[in-house]
Amino acid sequence: MTSLLQVVINGILLGSMYGIAAAGLSLIFGTMRIIFLAQGTVIVFFAFVVYWLFVKANIDPYLCLLIVVPFAFLVGLGLFYALFMRAAALEDKNVSLLIAVGLMYLIENAILKVWSASPRGLDISYSSAVISGWGLRIPWLRVALFGLALVSGLVVYLFLQKTRLGMAVRAAAEDMEATTLQGINSGWVCAVSFAVGIGLAGVAGVGMATVYSFDYQFGFTFALKALIALSLGGIGNVFGALAGGLILGVIENLTAYYLSISWIEAVSYGVFILVLIFLPQGLFGKRGVVKKA
């Protein structure tokens, strides 16, 4: 019983990573109407940045948040204006999607060139610190990861609900032209929501650096995991996306526990397909987001 509880808790904590990534995907989808497939690779890139700050400047990965998240936000703005602004205005969303795929391979190969193909992981002094009790052993780093997901989810939620710009992001996700008609610069609104999505990739990059061993090719698989989390949670709801991530984490850990590690991928994608067929709006998504033809 205790070990089952341990498995579920581990799943929830590790699933936080998928949750943060999925929340970013959800935001970007809201205004751009594409699944930003480069999200995972962007996360890996920020994980390398954290690794580099840690190794070269000996900066604690959590302290890196203060550098990496604002940097990620600016990278997001830059990427939007340089690559996506024109494409986002087009009716045909495939153009944006293809740019995202091109960007993914570009970043992957840039990482390969700069940091080589060898996998990295951070050797943090407190990485073995464990919270224990009731027969459970929970690594401190994973608890911190979960906290990171909750806090970033809350920050994004408050931004969307309470600020005027956040409201405009929600308005633009619903009707871009009507948003423009209010005198709102909808290009800037799209840029901001994209940048917040990339900012979340910065948060996820810190998380990845602290708990994973990662290499330049890890991103695409990770983006697909985030996509599964998003399909579980449903598009258009930050906490839904986070919860989707946690559920996927639990599913993966239960699979590893009851079947074997080699079944994880098959079960995850099986769940993905089943959700898309039987529950296309996700567990927490708003009905009507997925329209019937």
Partner 1 sequence: MSPLLEIKNLSVSYGDVRALMDVSLEVAEGEIVALVGSNGAGKSTLLKTAAGLLRPAAGHVLFEGHDITHLSTKHRVDRGIVLVPEGRRLFQTLTVEENLKMGAYLPRARANYEESLERVFGLFPVLKERANGKAGLLSGGEQQMLAIGRAVMAHPKLVMIDEASLGLSPILTRKIFELIVALNQQGTTVLMVEQNIHMALNICHRAYVMKTGHIVLSGTGEELLANVDVRKAYVGERGSKL
Residues that bind partner 1 (CB under 8 A): 164, 167-168, 170-171, 174-175, 177-185, 286
CB of 175 to partner 1, least distance (A): 6
Residue with smaller CB distance to partner 1, 133 or 183: 183
Residue with smaller CB distance to partner 1, 207 or 236: 236
Q: What's the number of CA atoms in the CB half-sphere (13 Å) around residue 39?
A: 36
CB of 50 to partner 1, least distance (A): 36
CB of 277 to partner 1, least distance (A): 26
Q: Is 101:37 a contact under the CB 8 Å cutoff?
A: yes
Q: Is 203:42 a contact under the CB 8 Å cutoff?
A: no
Residue with smaller CB distance to partner 1, 33 or 137: 33
Both tokens of 73, joined, read 């936000």
CB of 12 to partner 1, least distance (A): 29
Residue 283 three-state SS? coil
Residue with smaller CB distance to partner 1, 228 or 241: 241
- φ/ψ of 4, rounded to 5, equals -65, -45
Using CA of residue 161, residue 163, residue 165, residue 168, what is the dihedral sign?
positive
Amino acid at 25: L
Residue with smaller CB distance to partner 1, 205 or 236: 236
CB of 65 to partner 1, least distance (A): 31
CB of 180 to partner 1, least distance (A): 5
Residue with smaller CB distance to partner 1, 123 or 177: 177
- Comparing CA positions, the residue from 50, 56, 73 lying closest to residue 211 is 50
Which positions ≥6 away from 51 have C-beta within 8 Å?
115, 120, 122, 209
Q: Is 209:51 a contact under the CB 8 Å cutoff?
A: yes
Helices (H), 33-126: 39-57, 61-79, 85-88, 94-115
CB of 75 to partner 1, least distance (A): 26
Burial class (CB within 10 angstroms; exposed 0-12, middle 13-18, buried 19+) of 210: buried
Residue with smaller CB distance to partner 1, 168 or 250: 168
